[in-house]
Amino acid sequence: MTSLAPGPPVGPGTPAMPGPILAMRGMTKRFGPLLAADSIDLDLNQGEVLALLGENGAGKTTLMNMLFGEYTPDAGEVRIRDPSGNEEVLPPGQPQAAIAARIGMVHQHFTLAENLTVLDNILLGTEPPFSSRRSRRRARARLHRLMEASGLNASLDVRIRELSVGERQRIEILKALYREARILVLDEPTAVLTPQEADSLFGAVRELVREGLSVIFISHKLREVLAFSDRIMVLRHGRRMGEMPTSEADVGKIVRMMVGEEHAGVDRSPGEPSAPALVLEKVSVPSSRAQRALFEVSLTIHEAEILGIAGVAGNGQSTLAQIISGLLQPGEGSISIGGKNVRRLTPARALREGIGRIPEDRYQDGIVADMSVAENIVIERLDSPEIQRRGILRRAAIATHAEFLIDAHDIRCPGPHARTALLSGGNIQKLILARVLEAQPGIILANQPTRGLDVRAAGEVSRRLIAARDRGAGVLLISEDLDEVLALSDRILVMQGGRIAETKSRDRAVIGAMMTGGSVG
Amino acid sequence: MIDILQIFLSESFWAASLRIASPLIFGVLGALLCERAGVLNLGIEGIFVVGAMTGWMTVWLGAPLPVGVLAAAFSGALFGFLHSVLTVPLGLSQHVSGLGITLFASSLASFTYRTALPQVSSPPRIEPFRSLDVPILTDLPFFGPVLFQQTALTWLALILVCVVWWIMDRTPLGVALKAVGDNPEAVNAQGLSVIRLRMGAVVVGSSLMALGGAFLTMSAFDAFFFGMVNGRGWICIALVIFASWQPGKALIGALLFGMFDALQVRLQTEAGALVPPQVFLMMPFILSIIALVIVARRADYPRALLTPWFKGQR
């Protein structure tokens, strides 16, 4: 782990009042047979940053959703102390009560209306039904001050649907800050920020903490947790496993508490790149409502190589991924696969040419949520004779095949016929990976493959990608997590403003500067 | 040869277009409100019938015309409430509920009419809305007859276009309405009630639909008879898509349809000998389909249309 530089000031917050500002007692929530939260207690002091850690499905988000009134708990209560020292019990299941108590939440799954502008989304619910234009102007001015103070910049009149995932995340944070939250819940806030942006976010939040804000912070990035939090609490399988002051914590200790075993780091031997597998030559795409522009992007993925692309969301990575998936035909430039020129790359052609695709938005583009696990596993090869005979699906063969892959990839699900929507994010990603690797692709497009996954699941995905490389596949790894790019890539490209530049450097600061447009030329 | 140009230049053609468009304006606005909130309301056809019957009967029983209008709006709100209970908190299929409302509402309206008037052979008449005849303005060339000799209900329709536009585009309420049809979770996370917003939109939208029906019996004609709505509700559902869920474009769509219809009547009288009248009757519908094909390919549906929302569901 590299150090967070320039690191924000670290240290215990200054408790202004005795006793916790927030006390959750015996919080319990069931979803059908699943006990998502099992009698969890949580205390938060004023001016403190509490990090909530645990694997995917450990109950962190469920707990926070109960705090925010989005889920009604089956048992337990939430007590809040207001600034004058009075304690009150929050009525369960009412977001408006949580907002009135000035609890702000930045959700992991965005709660933005895509057909509205940034400003409308931020103001949603803060104004009376028929407020004047003047109050809107005041709100706009206040937001500009807030953006300046927090370093989170956004253009207020753009519609959300024109923003990338990373940009949307920033709006979510801004939205919570605009509501003057006393208690701020950040559910993986930095999953899509650059290291510099994350540092500046933490700097801004630190400043607010010094002024009395209390923060609950969910993250899978242990480096961040160690640098930013005052106290760490670990959940596992819906139960509270323990807590410790951050000053006494280290990575090994946390991971042991989270998964009950020592975490095996990703072990990477250098690859042995050979012949070019996929070559893009001066590919350009004009900008439009649906996509960011690309300017003469040239890159070569060799066999047995992981080519990492670092960059901030919204700099053309999605467009590049769409071209390689065959979803988008470039305006100019050429693509060749395995040495031969491909004039028109369509999704079907991409599959035939052996391009395995791990899409950025796994829920939207990776699976059909209402179909079963088995159906999602075979969906890319429905014409194969193992799957169907004379147009009739071979259901037994599909189920057996699915069971085999569920075992091999440790996909946690009730069975091959379970609805895929019931799976957690990590398991959906394992399913997609199983489907892609099963086809033994020569080229793998991995777009944000570990976004939102916990340490164990992310490590599993990384190891599988390295194994595929060692088998001879060329892997294009697009990630906003610079640590991941550094850990996995044989070569690194940086994408900024639709252009691409190669770097030999492995220095976080150098690459970070290139990502923000510092020295890409 | 028929002089089409002459038709387009005549005042009566434009006055008729606006008159024919009026009930559609009410209907499109109503459907648009419901759909912006994420609820398709196929009860529209039946709600038109109920509105037409209720408005007419209230006046026939002796109430003044404005009371008839209010009664019609209230009857629409009732059926809208029924639809919203079924589709919003209960989350039932919006198609099935809407079609059910249409069958139920139109049958109930006809049943009530027949029970109240078992014997009559020709429908009893009421004194309908007269044209406003605004002094001075009525005497303007062209605009006078086209705009200022319409009834109060046509003017109400035009004013409602502005009101709905203003609410949707200029007020926080409108922002919340558009948000709830796009991503209900965003609305819930801000502490607003998804259920109340959606139900409110359906109730208000349905009362507008009923006003479209009331226009037929209280302004266009002076009596209620079976089959008088004649698919106008369905036209509105198509016009909403044509309008991309925007009130201004909804007005344009309704006017276009009104023009086609006014045109076919005039062509029928001029060329009726050459072409069978059914061809002209089909014209507005065929032209609507063509217009829809051109526009709807780029239609930008509210993302949460037809999707029920339940609190705290994964």
Average pLDDT, integer, range B185-206: 94
- CA angle (B123, B207, B49) in 5-degree steps: 30
For A282, phi then psi, to 5°, come to 45, 55
- B298 and chain A: CB distance < 8 Å anywhere? no
DSSP-derived 3-state class of residue A52: strand
pLDDT of residue A518: 54
Query: Is A237 exposed, middle or buried, given 0-12, 13-18 or 19+ CB atoms closer than 10 A?
Result: middle
Q: Are B193 and B176 in contact (CB under 8 A)?
A: no
Q: Which residue of A has its CA nearest to B173?
A: A129
| List of chain A residues whose C-beta atoms are within 8 Å of the C-beta of residue B188 | 70, 95, 111
Is B91 a domain residue?
yes
pLDDT tens figures, A268-321: 777 778 899 999 999 998 887 667 789 999 999 999 999 999 987 778 898 999
Q: Which of the four pLDDT bands, split at 50, 70 and 90, describes residue A33?
A: low
pLDDT of residue B27: 97
- A135 and chain B: CB distance < 8 Å anywhere? no
For B120, phi then psi, to 5°, come to -65, 145
Residues found in chain B: 314
Contact B312 A93 (CB under 8 A): yes
Contact B176 A124 (CB under 8 A): yes
- A33 and chain B: CB distance < 8 Å anywhere? no
Among the ranges given (A220-229, A325-334, A510-519), the one the predictor scored with the smallest mean pLDDT = A510-519
H/E run at residue A77: strand A75-81
- CA angle (A463, A466, A467) in 5-degree steps: 85
Q: Is residue A477's pLDDT more than 50? A: yes
Is B296 a domain residue?
no
Picking from A116, A126, A131, the nearest residue to B179 by CB comes out as A116
Q: Are A329 and A345 in contact (CB under 8 A)?
A: yes
Residue B256 distance to chain A (closest CA, Å): 27
pLDDT tens figures, B200-248: 999 999 999 999 999 999 999 999 988 999 999 999 999 998 898 999 9
Number of helices followed by number of strands (H, E) in chain A: 16, 22
H/E run at residue B78: helix B65-87
Q: Are A43 and A104 in contact (CB under 8 A)?
A: no
Q: Are B213 and B50 in contact (CB under 8 A)?
A: yes
The amino acid at residue A71 is Y
- CA angle (B176, B178, B184) in 5-degree steps: 70
CA dihedral B89→B93→B95→B100, nearest 10 degrees, is -80
- Mean per-residue pLDDT over chain A, rounded: 85
Instruction: Pick the closest to residue B253 from B215, B292, B204, B202 (CA basis).
Output: B292
Is B293 a domain residue?
no
| List of chain A residues whose C-beta atoms are within 8 Å of the C-beta of residue B191 | 94-96, 98-100, 125
Which residues sit opposite B131 in a β-bridge? B151
Question: Rg of chain B's alpha carbons, rounded to an integer?
Answer: 20
pLDDT of residue A176: 85
Contact A113 B179 (CB under 8 A): yes
DSSP-derived 3-state class of residue B54: helix
Give contacts of B 152-171 with A, CB under 8 A: 170-171
DSSP-derived 3-state class of residue A398: helix
Which residues sit opposite A138 in a β-bridge? none
Distance CA A289, CA A296 (A): 20
DSSP-derived 3-state class of residue A446: strand
Average pLDDT, integer, range A76-93: 89
pLDDT of residue B1: 52
Residue whose tokens read 């053609």: B13
Q: Which residue of A has its CA nearest to B190?
A: A125
- The one-character DSSP state at A519 is S
High-pLDDT (> 70) share of chain A, %: 91
pLDDT of residue A8: 40
Select the residue from B190, B204, B300, B305 to test the A interface by mutation, using most A Cβ atoms within 10 A: B190
Q: Are A49 and A13 in contact (CB under 8 A)?
A: yes
Residue whose tokens read 């106290």: A231
Residue whose tokens read 């002209």: B280
pLDDT tens figures, B24-40: 999 999 999 999 999 99
Is B180 a domain residue?
yes
DSSP β-ladder status, A22-31 and A75-81: antiparallel
- pTM over 0.95? The answer is no
Q: Are B64 and B127 in contact (CB under 8 A)?
A: no
Range of the domain at B195: 14-113+132-230
DSSP β-ladder status, A49-53 and A214-218: parallel
- What are the C-alpha distances in Å from A194 to residues A108, A320, A489, A518, B226? 17, 19, 17, 13, 67
Q: Are B172 and A130 in contact (CB under 8 A)?
A: yes
Q: Are A213 and A205 in contact (CB under 8 A)?
A: yes
Tell me how many domains chain B contains: 1
Is B281 a domain residue?
no
**Inter-helix orientation angle A133-150/A195-210, to 10°:** 110
Q: Alpha helices of B121-227 — where are they, by DSSP H?
A: 143-147, 152-170, 172-182, 184-189, 194-215
Domains and CATH numbers, chain A: 20-102+182-195+214-262 (3.40.50.300), 113-179 (no CATH), 276-515 (3.40.50.300)
Average pLDDT, integer, range A32-49: 88
| List of chain A residues whose C-beta atoms are within 8 Å of the C-beta of residue B179 | 113, 115-116, 120-121, 124
Please give the ipTM for the structure prediction: 0.86
Is B244 a domain residue?
no
Q: Which residue of B has its CA nearest to A132?
A: B171
